[in-house]
């Protein structure tokens, strides 16, 4: 990745720590959040943070509040809060939907995450009042720690009847339906508006990445689709999480819709992260399956370049949109023009957190047996960004 003035791959950046995370969401209150205290010095970043072992889905993402010293792990149907020594502090349980990637909003001190209910055709940003998560097993719908905002644009693309037969085919990749192959949402991150030359000093937006079905037989699913929202006025939309009666309170329009040509991937951007050190955006994905593409697992968007309006390739009806350029680093596939990193093993798909100083935490997923019960684990490991191929991250050696 490149800094705004230099190549990111030409210097030692930093880190990925594997996050153990149990994702859970509790009912969100619509009351105003407590004022965020004045900034305090950042705590030291430990070489790893253990997210624990849980009867849950696998870890989906992580977020960190370095000032207060907490880390948050999404475990699909559970949210876990730990201190930076890996001690559990609290958890939110009871999600029947899919809680995905997370990010911490420094402006209001809350954690934002993607939340899907595909059968209900409902997609939300879950907003967690994390200061109120003070004990284990807090219920997502009755404790008031979770509020939700409905994303109409995602529903529109997920339910799009692309073949005109009047039938919604449901949660399946084996269909021409779902515009751009949209399977919902997953990756979320705060960062500047795309093209804002002020970088990390610019106005912060919430960026939400589509999930994208893996389907080799269509050509209109080869982009990552990213939406940007100004969340400063979102309190008027926030509603408690009520799974039995999904609400539709949310912004009528997006503040920007963008396309990044990567080739089809399996369920789109799993983890999205803005790196304030380089000014670039990282996208970690599960590899695609189309033989015509290199099927990288890590991509970077060049934050120094503005989006350009152009043709959104592969659409049945010609369409123009705002195109985001990939950073020209890593491996380069001349046939498709794409850049990225093969990054074998687990490098960001289960959690990716930039410390905005050249270091990242990369989250690793695993399982353990406990009394005959399989539990999911998460561990955030500090890494240095090298930009090398095939793996652009290098774990930090303790004591080095």
Least confident of 4-18, 224-238, 241-255: 4-18
Whether 184 contacts 227, CB under 8 Å: no
Burial 12-30 (b: 16+ CB within 10 A, else e): ebbbbbbbbbbbbbbbbbe
- Residue 388 makes CB contacts below 8 A (sequence gap 6+) with 9, 394
- Residue 43's pLDDT band, with cuts at 50, 70 and 90, is confident
pLDDT score recorded for residue 40 = 53
**What pTM was estimated for this model as a whole?**
0.89
pLDDT digits (tens, 9 = 90+) for 368-385: 999 999 999 999 999 999
pLDDT score recorded for residue 400 = 54
pLDDT digits (tens, 9 = 90+) for 100-124: 999 999 999 999 999 999 999 999 9
Mean pLDDT, range 250-254, rounded to an integer: 97
pLDDT digits (tens, 9 = 90+) for 180-226: 999 999 999 999 999 888 877 888 999 999 999 999 999 999 999 99
pLDDT digits (tens, 9 = 90+) for 281-313: 999 999 999 999 999 999 999 999 999 999 999
pLDDT digits (tens, 9 = 90+) for 20-38: 333 333 333 333 334 444 4
pLDDT score recorded for residue 142 = 96
Whether 102 contacts 95, CB under 8 Å: no
pLDDT digits (tens, 9 = 90+) for 306-335: 999 999 999 999 999 999 999 999 999 999
- Residue 47's pLDDT band, with cuts at 50, 70 and 90, is very high
pLDDT score recorded for residue 197 = 80
pLDDT score recorded for residue 20 = 38
Q: Which two tokens stand for residue 278?
A: 């380089």
């Amino acid at each position: 990745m490149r800094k705004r003035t230099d190549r990111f791959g030409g210097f030692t950046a930093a880190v990925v720590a594997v996050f153990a995370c149990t994702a859970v969401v509790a009912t969100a209150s619509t009351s105003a959040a407590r004022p965020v205290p004045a900034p305090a010095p950042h705590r030291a970043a430990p070489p790893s943070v253990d997210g624990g072992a849980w009867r849950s889905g696998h870890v989906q993402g992580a977020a960190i509040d370095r000032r207060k010293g907490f880390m948050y792990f999404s475990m699909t149907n559970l949210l876990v809060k730990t201190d930076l020594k890996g001690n559990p502090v609290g958890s939110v349980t009871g999600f029947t939907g899919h809680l995905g990637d997370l990010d911490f909003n420094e402006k209001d001190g809350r954690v934002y995450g993607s939340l899907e209910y595909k059968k209900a055709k409902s997609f939300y940003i879950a907003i967690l009042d994390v200061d109120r998560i003070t004990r284990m097993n807090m219920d997502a719908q009755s404790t008031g720690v979770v509020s939700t905002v409905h994303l109409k644009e995602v529903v529109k693309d997920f339910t799009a009847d692309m073949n005109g037969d009047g039938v919604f085919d449901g949660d399946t990749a084996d269909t021409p339906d779902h515009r751009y192959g949209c399977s919902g949402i997953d990756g979320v991150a705060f960062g500047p508006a795309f093209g804002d030359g002020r970088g990390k000093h610019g106005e912060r937006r919430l960026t939400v990445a589509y999930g994208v079905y893996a389907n080799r037989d269509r050509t209109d699913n080869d982009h990552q689709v990213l939406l940007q929202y100004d969340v400063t006025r979102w309190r008027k939309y926030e509603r408690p999480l009520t799974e039995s009666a999904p609400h539709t309170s949310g912004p009528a329009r997006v503040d920007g819709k963008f396309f990044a040509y990567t080739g089809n991937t399996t369920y789109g951007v799993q983890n999205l992260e803005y790196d304030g050190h380089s000014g670039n955006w990282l996208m970690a994905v599960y590899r695609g399956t189309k033989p015509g593409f290199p099927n990288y697992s890590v991509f970077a968007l060049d934050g120094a370049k503005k989006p350009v309006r152009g043709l959104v390739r592969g659409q049945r009806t010609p369409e123009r949109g705002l195109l985001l350029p990939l950073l020209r680093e890593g491996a380069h596939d001349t046939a498709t023009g794409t850049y990225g990193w093969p990054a074998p093993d687990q490098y960001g798909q289960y959690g990716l957190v930039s410390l905005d100083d050249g270091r990242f935490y990369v989250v690793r997923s695993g399982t353990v047996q406990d009394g005959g019960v399989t539990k999911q684990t998460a561990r955030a490991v500090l890494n240095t960004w090298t930009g090398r191929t095939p793996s652009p991250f290098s774990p930090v050696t303790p004591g080095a």
